[in-house]
Structure 1
Amino acid sequence: MSAPLLALHGVCKRYGAVEVLEDIDLEIHAGQVVALLGDNGAGKSTLIKVISGVTPADRGVIEWEGRTVHIRRPNDARDLGIATVFQDLALCGNLDVVGNLFLGREIRRFGFLDEMEMERRTLQLLERLTRGVPELRAPVVSLSSGQRQTVAIARSLLGDPRLLLLDEPTAALGLQQTTEVMDLVDQLRDRGLGVLLISHNMGDVKALADRAAVLRLGRNNGFFDVNTASQEQIISSITGATENAPHRQAHQEAGW
């Protein structure tokens, strides 16, 4: 198997006297969805912040396609090809869809905003992602939750990333909106992107993910092939019924 897009080895992060991540290992390959699972306080959000450059790791090795890299700022992650959609989406509700996609990276022509070009690119991108393209000039606050999630994902794809980090993308969505977002994640995998997915919904995990990595109290506590592992096995690892599972499970699965 080729080198993973992203590999973490022994990554640690401390806030004061509290070590919130301890010796974390993780691999994500192109065209693969990896679910990052764990109870509240397990370290999932902190790990996303480390990978996205919001909070640099204190120790450990991060590799990108087999070479060691340093991610100290969000720009470092973006330059590698890592994009992140946080749970709050960070959209401006008073701006329209085009304005949100190009906020801070506006296209200009002869010193003036090129609204037509930005609108063209927005439509082109959204048509690749969804059948229900929202009104491009509608304020984002007027869109459904699922449409806002699609806009946030579309914005993250403008720079043609190779790895997408998604923090609870289906949280608080209805059934139809959840299905739309899940279809979108499937599309991203089919296009060869790696996806790291935080989710508390085991149904979504079983439907979307290829592999699952479980964190518990800031440490690895299990790696699973989602297609073969039972839901009970994964939940036991999340709750701590099976402690230090990676030392047993990791040796049973090739590719981790």
Structure 2
Amino acid sequence: MKEYQGYLIDLDGTIYLGEEPILAGKRFVEKLQAREIPFLFVTNNTTKTPEAVKEKLSKQFDIHVTSQTIYTATLATADYMIEKNLGKKVYVIGESGLKSGIEAAGFELTDQEPDYVVVGLDTQVTYQKIATATLAIQKGAHFIGTNPDKNIPTDRGLLPGAGSLIGMLEIATKQRAVIIGKPEAIIMNKALERLNLIKEEVIMVGDNYETDIRAGIDNGIDSLLVLTGFTPKNAVKDLSIQPTFVIDSLDEWTF
């Protein structure tokens, strides 16, 4: 088996499941740490800062990492805007993790003539927020969607995700958003830059075929589908393009 120099790893469904631990996920991380293999958690979640994710991993799941090992769609969005260099004014539909991350990168949050409109998951979204974003995009603001996830799994069922809000604005403005998160190239390329590795040296590990595994397939990165979360075992045979590897548990993976 190929020896990978680095790992890109999803969180929910892979390392933990909602508020429940996946013990094989904890053991997997500890094996990487023991072997000093670089890894980066790559998540589409924009509601939490890397520091908050680090605290959750530590307190809830006894997984101890630095915040530098956590790369969120918020960070990738900020990195993209810095590179794009269209200005510093941003209108955000999203929660505190997204807003604080964008501010920390040196941008000003405003609803007055923004250079960018950034849309992520916002559980307090209102018609007025959608209207403000629509008008700003129509006036030329660069339209960014943090991630394409149409739904988020909860104990109540599948609820609207960031992708649903982005879709609403795409219809209202007749413009397509630039999507940052998995499976798009932007977050994957930025994650590789963070690891200082190339595509051929890493593998993408996750439970969701549509985001995690397609992020690998679509961007020329090997992929490892673990059947502990979103994609069920009975769906694997019908996948249009197969992952590089499929396992039931991360305990099965050998380094």
TM-score, normalization by structure 2: 0.36
- Give the structure, 1 or 2, with the largest relative contact order (CA under 8 Å, sep 6 or more): 1
User: Which structure has the highest helix share of the two?
Assistant: 2
Flag the structure with higher strand content.
1
